[in-house]
Structure 1
Amino acid sequence: MESREEAFRCGSCDADFSHKSSLSRHEKTHTGEKPFQCDLCDAAFGRKHHLKSHRATHTGEKPHKCEVCDAAFTVKGNLNYHMRTHTGVKPYKCNLCNADFRQKHHLTNHLAIHTGEKPFPCGLCDAAFTGKTKLRYHVMTHTGERPHKCDLCDAAFTGKGHLKNHMMTHTGEKPFQCDLCSAAYPTKVGLQHHVMAHTGERPFRCDLCDADFSQKHHLKNHMVTHSEEKPFQCDLCDAAFKVKSNLKYHMRTHTGVKPYKCNLCDTDFRQKHHLTNHIATHTGEKPFQCGLCDAAFRGKADLKHHVMTHTGEKPFQCDLCETAFIRKCDLKYHIRTHTGEKPYKCDLCDAAYPKKSALDRHLKTHLRKRSSELCNEGFSQSIAIQRPIQERGLPKDCS
């Protein structure tokens, strides 16, 4: 006699069910049948209670309220999951590592990290994903769909959580507080990344060198340094970049856009971390302390370079000689001593230099010579001399 568990088997796959109704629901995943249609929009569902939950998105009704905080939900199951954020209960445990999760599908997605399985392929490109939700968001990158729109500005997002995080930029809310310092963040992920700065945890390791990172996308960006490929090409000049964000910052040298403005003076910047470092010049703050001496720095990159003066590390090696440097930009300038390249040209004579600082020193010789001759006719030329190099489309020296 067949066991109850094997009595109801799917004819399209090997799945077995203990109840006929469970098999019927499962078969709809093969046929795509969605008999429960919303009468307020085009949405359709395979199960009746999914339609019921969906209708609450039209009415705004959230009858399931948390007794610990102000959160409310359209579906009772979502309230159950939310309560675990208060209790800390994570009932779904990975049997291959120590990870545990509040929701079953989070565990399912996690297991794919161990198996390498990506069962959800994109029908528009070669990408494949561990979870159905990730595939859905990915498809939106093809369609351009951004259904979650901000009521206060023109921003729109593929995911509801992204919109929720964005709204905090308007409200200034930062509910996730660090227990080790006064820092606070609008998102839990932001706090988790910050805590790693205290613990020194860097779980994402490069397979090709000794580099490790606290965030996955930092590792992804690092991996391109091992490749010579630069797929992100500027449409206005010959510049090309390994990382898309670097192209984005580069485009601002053409457009002149500097979206990050200091509220203490009139200075503005192309990149956020440049503004952060600049603000420290007003406050005098130097939060990045060297663990090997008493030196402190305004920026994390400055500290990193300083530590190399203790360790003797010089990771940027010249391919044409044996010289090595702490900073990539110093290697770049050194290579110009081999190639003879001098991209910083004087507007007032034929002089050219490999570094901006050398051109700045040269321009001062013109200013000194002309200081006694400046008049109405020469004033416009003196302004041209003092015009910042970066406004002429050339990069600044590294600092």
Structure 2
Amino acid sequence: FSLRWRRTDNTDRKTDGRGSQFHVHVQDSGGKAFVCNCCGKTLACLKNLKTHMRVHTGEKPFVCTLCGKRFSDSSNLKRHQSVHTGEKRYGCAHCGKRFAQSGSLKVHMRSHTGEKPYPCKDCGKAFSLNSSLKVHMRTHTGEKPYPCETCGKCFSQSSVLNVHMRTHTGEKPYSCETCGKCFTESKSLTIHIRTHTGEKPYSCETCGKCFKRSAHLNVHMRTHTGEKPYSCETCGKCFSQSSVLNIHMRIHTGEKPYSCETCGKCFKWSAHLNYHMKTHRGEKPNPCETCGKCFSQRSSLKKHMRIHTD
């Protein structure tokens, strides 16, 4: 847009064709500071002021001839065009990975330097990306700006909402090339593939035992530390795993979630249901080594053995 000058004592005023005014303050040094009348920001030169004003006017005069996307300044257009050309001018000196934009390389370098310039003011935790800090802040504020339109459940991240939506659509876009099993998340597929490869990348520093999942290593470490963070509110007994606490609670509640499809008998534990099912199938996998008599349960075999020892 064109600007017209109007001189005052120590301030020039510039006016665009629409009548908006931008102040130009003359400094003692003889230079000029160009001040945006909309937000008060000071710019070093007229060119920078004109570019800055597009933030307020929404003007985007630079157009990508390939896709039609518009930009407020030419430098942003040039960076965008590398998306179409595939050009990656900026290379990492540490690992050789290349990037189309210098800003992307700068962020990547933090993976090598460990730099985390964005600290949380509430807890001190630091992040390499400002966007990661913003997501983290929601753990303190409780903000969950992404609601599910189907069930109303809200999430702090759009990516988590996208994964959740697959529970409604049934979509499982990640498939195992070995067995064809499909998953809603890529990390679930990664963990599953270890059942085929046998990979156990998480090792215990104390005893050397290896695990497929980091969560399993964390639980295992409690066998060394003795930590039992899950306590029963009824009797005070403590457990190293939440799943074991849930099973224990059935002693107090009387819950028996495992039912026999043949006779309807219910059990507190799945193992007891499995033992019971053998009575219907006629399985007796526990033989007496002395007389050869077979039993469906090991406990029945132990009782029988007393006949021979008495």
TM-score range, shorter chain: 0.3 to 0.5
Higher strand share: 2
Instruction: Pick the structure with greater CA Rg.
Output: 2
The structure in which a higher percent of residues are helix is 1
> When the two structures are superposed, what TM-score results if normalisation uses the length of structure 1?
0.39
